[in-house]
Amino acid sequence: MSNQRLAMLTGGGDCPGLNPVIRAITRRALQEGFEVLGIRNGWKGMIEKNYVPLDRAAVAGTVHRGGTILGTSRTNPRKIPGAVEKIFANFKDLRLDVLIAIGGDDTLGVAYDLYTKGLATIGVPKTIDNDIPGTDYTFGFDTAVNIATEALDRLHTTAESHHRVLVVEMMGRHAGWITLHAGIAGGADYVLLPEFPKNMREVGEVLKKRHAAGRTFSTVAVAEGFKIEGEEVLQNQEKDAFGHVRLGGVGERVAKLLEKYTGFETRSVVLGHLQRGGTPTAYDRVLGTRYGLKAVDLAKKGLFGKMVALRGTEIVAVDLQSVTKSKVVTPELYADAQTFFG
């Protein structure tokens, strides 16, 4: 039995499946003789030494719960003078042996940076966007795709009844994974992704052909990061600590242009944070659980600077460094979706 201390934090946008990860890390780490701490609110909690001891009771009844019981933030310690030093000092004060960071590219990017500076970190890839390289899937993605697919199914029937075009805006800044998968699963008649520029007049022509062939309605799935004439559509000019702008509104812009080019009555819907809220699917609960268990195995072996990942059906360890890039939709996958346009 070791007397080692393990801490974990959740950073960035919340995501269904975080609690199953926290629960699995806690249960396996306790079994392995670690003392377990939960750092509150991501890197912010590590800077402020804001933590809670985790035992079996603390994580009981959480496997089905959305969000994160530890709280989260988009705090970037690299942007706060003295914060990185504070993290090192707090790591020592708390007598930690390892810190598991559960997050997307931003949170894990910080974990990697700190690892290169000598901190014992391990990463667990989290994001509904599924854009982290090195892993086939991130947990949260399946839940988001299911929510977006259900939305498309529901909008399908109202579009059909009213003979309208319905444009559905989904999350995904640089990567259109949610939109691609939900678009295919929900039978969208056009899918617009950040990775693939499209001329709206041409999209309108495709819909016009569809309607001329006898269909009297269409659904269009668009990712929030899709660019209109090379420009992202922003909610405002503000940037977060990681330099991300707030996207939003592209669905309405697409709807206006399609109505103009086709003459069909068009409406738009923004799914927004609905895609991140609520209970995780069984798939995400199991994936999160397997990630959590593997992260503790790595901690036990002292394998720091690693990220747990899904490759095929296996959970493996890859270098945390892989998060410094972004995984985007390939032209081949987009071509598959294109088969069903119109």
Give contact residues for ligand F6P (rule: CB under 6 A): 13, 104, 127-129, 171-173, 224, 247, 276
Strands (E), the chain: 5-10, 35-39, 51-53, 98-103, 121-125, 165-170, 190-192, 218-223, 234-239, 245-247, 266-270, 306-311, 314-319
Name residue 310's amino acid: L
Q: Which of 221, 61, 244 is nearest to 150 (CA)?
A: 221
Nearest to ligand F6P of 42, 204 (CB atom): 42
- 23 versus 276: smaller Cβ distance to ligand F6P: 276
- Smallest distance, ligand F6P to C-beta of residue 13, A: 4
Separation of alpha carbons 39 and 197, rounded Å: 41
Dihedral sign for Cα atoms in the order 95, 98, 103, 109: positive
Q: Kindly tell me which of 6 and 254 has the beta carbon lying closer to ligand F6P.
A: 254
Question: 105, 106, 129, 284: which one is catalytic?
Answer: 129
Spatial CA neighbour of 247 closest among 275, 221, 223:
223
129 is catalytic: yes
Distance of closest approach, residue 92 Cβ to ligand F6P, in angstroms: 31
We find the least distance from the C-beta atom of residue 105 to ligand F6P, in angstroms, to be 9
In 10 A of CB 75, how many CB atoms? 25
Contact predicate 71/10, CB 8 Å? yes
Comparison of 234 and 286: residue with beta carbon closer to ligand F6P: 234
Q: Which residue is nearest to ligand F6P (CB)?
A: 171
Closest CB 144 distance from ligand F6P, rounded Å: 8
Residue numbers annotated as active site: 129
